[in-house]
Amino acid sequence: MPEAARQLESALRENPKDPGGMLHGARAMLRAKTGDRKGAEADIAEAIRIGRGFEHFHHTAYNIGCAYSMLGRRDLALHWLRLAAGEGFPCYPFYEVDWTLNAIRTDPTFKAFLAEMKKQREGFEKLK
């Protein structure tokens, strides 16, 4: 974790504008993992502020969902994961196994969301 924190701080110094908010979203995940709730929520707010409107914001939205999952904020986690999937990151296998989502894995709403994504993926596979 300390090395990841150093790398993120270095990346933010080199890219202070952080287009899309990806670095702030990643740091929010790291801070959530280490128990820094206040720091994670500040990074989430900054990722949203600078990232909205960015073409690939769905990646940042996914990171925000993961951070909220680790913070135990199920409703917000699901909101951001649905947004990520709907705006261009509907990667069912990733959502299915990502450990950062373990805190919401037993939630019925998350289970229904995964089932929807799996059904969508199966539909895509039939088109091949």
- Mean per-residue pLDDT of the chain: 93
Q: Which residue segment(s) compose the domain that 12 sits in?
A: 2-126
Task: Report the number of distinct structural domains present in the chain.
Answer: 1
Question: If you count them, how many residues does the chain have?
Answer: 128
pLDDT band at 126 (very low <50, low <70, confident <90, very high): confident
Asked whether the predicted pLDDT for residue 96 surpasses 70, the reply is: yes
What are the pLDDT digits (tens) for 20-56?
Answer: 999 999 999 999 999 999 999 999 999 999 998 888 8
Alpha-helical segments (H) within the chain: 2-14, 22-33, 37-51, 57-70, 74-86, 92-97, 108-126
* Cα–Cα distance for residue pair 126/111, rounded to 1 Å: 23
What are the pLDDT digits (tens) for 48-94?
Answer: 999 988 888 999 999 999 999 999 999 999 999 999 999 999 989 99
